Structure 1
Amino acid sequence: MGMFHLAGVAALAACATAAPAETSAAQPKSFLKELGNSTWIIGNGIWNMTQGRQYGVKLWYKGKDRVGPTATGHYVSYNGAASDLNWTSAAIADSGRDWINVKFTAKEGDFHWVIHDDLAGAYQYFVNHALPTLGEFRTLWRLDNVSFPNGHTNVKDGELPPLSEYAAATNVQDETWQKADGTFLTKYDWSAFIRDQTYYGVYGDEVGSWYINPGKDYYNGDHLKEELMVHRESKTGDAVQLNMIHGTHYLARSSDNFTDGKTWGPWLWYLNDGNKADADRRWRQEDKAWPYEWFKNTAYQSRGSVSGKLLLSDGRPASGAAVFLGDSNSALSTADQGKDYYYTAYADKQGRFTIDDVRTGTYGLYAWGNGGSIADVTTSFVQNDVVVSKRKKTDLKSLKWTVTDKSKRIFQIGDFDRTSRGFALSGPTPFEHGRIAKTPGNLTYTVDRSRSSDWFFGQSNLGTWSINFNLKNVPESATGARLYTSLAGFSSGTKSNILVNNEKIGNISSNAVLLVSSQDTYRGATQAGEWRNLQWDVKKELLKSGDNKVDITVTESTQWRGWLWDSVVLEWV
């Protein structure tokens, strides 16, 4: 079968170049061949793939089928595995002297492969026409586990767990197994912050398959958007390379409708001999070339820039602030925005920021603290109706960010940066299943004596975390106090009461404060999920000169569910 297929591909390549002598040099060697019965072959002289109605079932590269006898191959789907796109036709939509653009059409939209004669791999993009309201939309490869035994992201590299380990372990949760030694196997340990990715994929000694996404404006969510990147398929052993172009693995309510013509991509799917240094070089090459001049799409090529300077109302520059360009006049959090195009940046030490190559349109500008000299800032900045015009520089000049009076701060635990960084067990590995179970049920933190590293990244177990603090006096001018319990993530199933000097002022519970569960702690997130800032009024008479305390008492606990801590702040109002 393999010899016949390779010979057939050679013949197809020859047919693709067959032309009168005077024009043969202008004909690409890349090809599309229809075999009938909703089956096609695409590729070039380096690789080729056999595409069926749903799945790319064979990938020939370096003399072998890299999908293998049991793996599914390549496909596009939404809302999990329930809805794989069915291709009704394929055609060469455009071409040049050394490339073709192959368009596969489904009722939901068109998936394109831009194949160059000399490229191991292809550029890919999807144009929406009729996708339903969705949370997850992805393209992916499920590949041969012998050719691709290893996985790589920007934070994790190494062997994917062999299929035999799953067979000997006990399933304890969705795609999570416990081994005899008490450790866990889970695909979610291969998650990462998606906007931090350079190149990622699966590889072995002779072959590597990589996704390179230099332009990330088609992703949903903000700087802290996390996604599953690669993993071992537990039932078949396939090496899975995910391209979650609209994902929800660690979010609460990201579900969107898309306009006709919404485009994800282009990105590069890249093949090599498994060399990570080569994949890194290719990433740098693609990043430098983005946005791609060759992509002749009017909306894609229509871009401008946005700049400005964020200044806090107390006179400080918003040094290092996270800056997000998203939906204007939106009721959604920045994590949950996803219907259009989104851009992220960080301000410099003076609070200045510039975001280049922004698609033209009207945006909302958002900013929040990212630690450092503004780790005390509990407010966020929003400016709506920011207009970006083609080839124009939108200069927003100085932007005033209102903050609370630092002199009214009673205490603060941890940076107010929407992450658990700096707390015990929060890193350096950002994902580890079950780590929240290692945090204590009971803990005492004494203000001015304890450090942030004495507080833990998450809370789940039954017990009380007490914050002891001393007040020299209760200011006459104060009308009360405000307690911020800022959460970097929350998975429902664990509940707590919040008490000030033994009087309950609130609780952390999906029922009590209308917290929608996000899929973070039980999927192993240790630094961020979906951020929530819970604020509680504290009556003035509850506080007194001398010793005081805040208790956060877990009254109900569900294994691996709870919350990730961002910061706890108490201030006078």
Structure 2
Amino acid sequence: MVETEEQVEVSFSRPWDPSFQDKLCPMNIDKRFIMLRGVSGFYSYAIYEHLPEWPGFSLGETRITFKLQKEKFHYMAVADNRKRFMPLPDDRLPGRGQPLAYPEAVLLVNPLEPELKGEVDDKYQYSCDNKDLRVHGWICMDPPVGFWQITPSDEFRSGGPMKQNLSSHVGPTTLAMFLSGHYAGDDLVPKVRQGEPWKKVFGPVFIYLNSAMDGEDPQLALWEDARRQMMVEVQSWPYSFPASDDFPSSDKRGNVSGRLLVRDRYINVDYISANGAYVGLAPPGEVGSWQRECKDYQFWTRADGEGHFSINNVRIGEYNLYAWVPGFIGDYKYDVAITITSGSEINMGDLVYEPPRNGPTLWEIGIPDRSAAEFYVPDPNPMYINKLFVNHPDRFRQYGLWDRYAELYPDGDLVYTIGQSDYRKDWFFAQVTRKKDDNSYVGTTWQIKFKLDNVTKDGTYNLRVAVASATLAEMQVRFNDPNTKRPLFTSGLFGRDNSIARHGVHGLYWLYNVDVPSTQLRQGDNILYLTQPRNQSPFQGILYDYIRLEAPSSSDCGRSV
């Protein structure tokens, strides 16, 4: 491949052969490793290729995995506020660990380090969003050295910036995740048909090794140095040194810039800057299709306070421009496809997103940010605690929170009163099933009580329900009569995110817009019933992002009664 005084690149390839049928994935796989002079670590990337004449396949997960010496690496760091001494893999074995509701979660009953007794170890507690999953790894104290996995770009990852992936966990194990269905399900599993050509480059990622000086605190010094190196790698992307022509250098890519504005006349008659908007280029598709796209490349950035954005170093190809704006529901898509050519500089000018809106807000619950993090997350059962997440911003990463619902609401389901209740205290973060005394489960019905001073006759109200995640769930909507055989609206069975079990507060995003005839409502007291009837397991349920009821538009010709 490459062998000079400055660089060595080696390739380990496995061409597909028909004799592999039903044994190995029908792809050519080329795994590559690069070492550069003076660089403390090595780079790795892979090229996967499927030719049209080969059988079809699906690819549930692909990654690079590093298993370190358990005698040496005991301290793990995933983020500034997620660092700790970890259990040993032996602590998960029978006699030392007790398996819980699923194999990944183990209660440490007799760990080698006594201070860890009673804690829960679960790799999903250390998951990260793609946008935050830049550097993670392990520290050995004697000698003081660090082993870090750095991912400088998300372009080869699927599902967009908020797709969650595993990082490091007990093993000691470090992962560079490329594709997975975690927190999404089968939607994020690429399916390549016979007759369909496909090629993709995953990486390069950087494996960085560092050491601490005498007198330094290894836990602090090695992590901070790894974070600095991560910034160097991010700023160096795309790398100029990979030998494969399938990885284009910066001069063979293009850039797209512009400004995104929001128009919502019920908030402001003027345009609103799309402050902090997520703006990206992904393969052409429908509105919001980027979060389920998993075969090609995506390129994302965040707009500044004025809505200005710049998406740099985009591979040649055809894309749609997509966006979503924290504080507003729904998804934006620019209607015309964008073609990126080598060296292209495209300025989109001002773009305007008009989020779903029919009339003024009567009431709302939550913050439209595609997450349930702002809602009430209970304290964990004292028997199932990860001490790292006690008094931690990510309270939702504790094991067993789904069972706390029935303990908090032993005699009936959640009731939320507009104008009195506080979603930060009174709205449980997940509408889960209720565990019964016989260990079976039942669905739940939540109530939202609200008052209307008047009702517009012959008008249509609008209920907007943004869902942050769902797992084998159903959302039924009824007004004022919980016993009607047919709900006003049902989502049908939806979602396979498994976020409840995996300590997540978001998965795939869903937005339901429900027309509510005025005949469903009353002057004075009203109740909205949200029923989730599916009840085969404790992990079925809905994580709401945001709920809003809108009055009919001002153009509605009905009259108040």
Q: Report the counterpart of residue 137 of structure 2 in structure 1.
A: 201
2:424 to 442, 453, 472: 453
1:114 and 2:43 matched: no
Selected match of 2:3 from 91, 95, 107: 95
1:244 to 161, 177, 181: 177
Q: Is the 8 A contact 1:128 1:262 kept in 2?
A: yes
Question: How many angstroms does 1:507 deviate by?
Answer: 9.0
Aligned position for 1:169: 97
Q: Could you tell me which amino acid in structure 1 is paired with residue 273 of structure 2? A: P
Q: Match for residue 141 of structure 1?
A: 66
Q: Would the aligned equivalents of 1:320 and 1:349 in 2 still touch at CA under 8 Å? A: yes
Q: CA deviation at 1:182?
A: 7.1
Written as runs of structure 1 = structure 2, the 5 A alignment for 1:403-442 is 403-405=355-357, 407-425=359-377, 428-429=393-394, 431-439=397-405, 440-441=408-409, 442=413
1:522 aligns with 2:501: yes
Q: Does 1:153 align with 2:78?
A: yes
Give the secondary-structure state (helix, strand or coil) at the position aligned to 1:263. Answer: strand
In structure 1, what residue type is equivalent to 2:128?
Answer: A
Task: Return closer, same or farther for 1:496/1:531 CA change in 2, 3 Å cut-off.
Answer: closer
Structure 1 gap segments, 5+ residues each:
1-92, 233-237
Post-superposition CA distance 1:107-151 (Å, at most 9, x none): 331111111343332111111123943131111111211111122
Structure 2 CA distance for aligned equivalents of residues 506 and 174 of structure 1: 38
Q: Secondary structure at the match of 2:494?
A: coil
Cα distance between partner residues in 1 of 2:178 and 2:489: 32
**1:563 equivalenced with 2:542 (yes/no):** yes
Quick one: structure 1 residues 277 and 351, their matched pair in 2 at CA, closer, same or farther if it must change by over 3 Å? closer
Instruction: Note the aligned Cα RMSD (angstroms).
Output: 2.6
Report whether the alignment pairs 1:184 with 2:120: yes
Q: Distance in 1 between matches of 2:532 and 2:58?
A: 37
Task: Name 1:228's counterpart in structure 2.
Answer: 166
Partner letter of residue 296 of structure 2? D
Distance 2:30 2:534 in 1: 48
Cα drift, residue 328 of structure 1 = 0.8
Question: How big is the shift at 1:360?
Answer: 1.9
Name the CA distance, whole Å, in 1 between partners of 2:547 and 2:467.
9
Q: Deviations over 1:68-117 (max 9, x none)?
A: xxxxxxxxxxxxxxxxxxxxxxxxx1122222101111133111111134
How do 1:328-343 and structure 2 match up within 5 A? Answer: 328-330=284-286, 333-343=289-299
Matching residue's letter, 1:106: R
In 2, Cα distance between equivalents of 1:497 and 1:183: 38
| Among 517, 525, 528, the residue aligned to 1:547 | 525
Query: Partner residue of 2:559?
Result: none
Match of 1:324 among 250, 274, 280: 280
CA contact under 8 A between 1:363 and 1:384: conserved in structure 2?
no
1:538 Cα deviation from its structure 2 partner: 2.1
Deviation at residue 406 of structure 1 after TM alignment: 7.0
8 Å Cα contact 1:360-1:388 kept in structure 2: yes
Letter of the structure 1 residue corresponding to residue 248 of structure 2: Y
What is the letter of the counterpart of residue 61 of structure 2? E
Instruction: Choose the corresponding residue for 1:286, options 213, 221, 233.
Output: 233
Q: TM-score, normalised by structure 1?
A: 0.75
- Residues 552 and 182 (structure 1 numbering): CA distance in 2 closer, same or farther, change over 3 Å? farther
SS class of match (2:30): strand
> Percent of pairs identical after alignment?
25
- Partners of 1:406 and 1:182 in 2: how far apart? 52
C-alpha separation between the residues in 2 aligned to 1:507 and 1:202? 53
Q: Which amino acid aligns with 2:174?
A: Q
Contact 1:126 1:264 in 2 (8 A): yes
Alignment coverage as a number of residue pairs:
467
Counterpart residue identity of residue 97, structure 2:
A
| 1:306 to 2:285 alignment | no
Q: TM-score normalised to the size of structure 2? A: 0.77
TM-superposed CA distance for 1:239, in Å, is 1.0
Amino acid at match of 1:101: E
Task: Sort the Cα spacing of 1:127 and 1:499 in 2 relative to 1 into closer, same or farther, 3 A.
Answer: same
Deviates more, 1:196-205 or 1:499-508: 499-508
SS at match of 1:489: strand
Map Cα deviations across residues 436-487 of structure 1 (whole Å, 9 max, x no partner).
Answer: 33344422222223233132221104344221111111124x6322222221
In 2, Cα distance between the equivalents of 1:117 and 1:401? 48
Are 1:344 and 2:300 matched, yes or no? Answer: yes
- Does the 8 Å contact 1:501/1:549 carry over to 2? yes
Q: Which residue of 1 aligns with 2:43?
A: 123
| Amino acid aligned to 1:498 | V
> Structure 1 382/434 Cα, relative in aligned 2: closer, same or farther at 3 Å?
farther
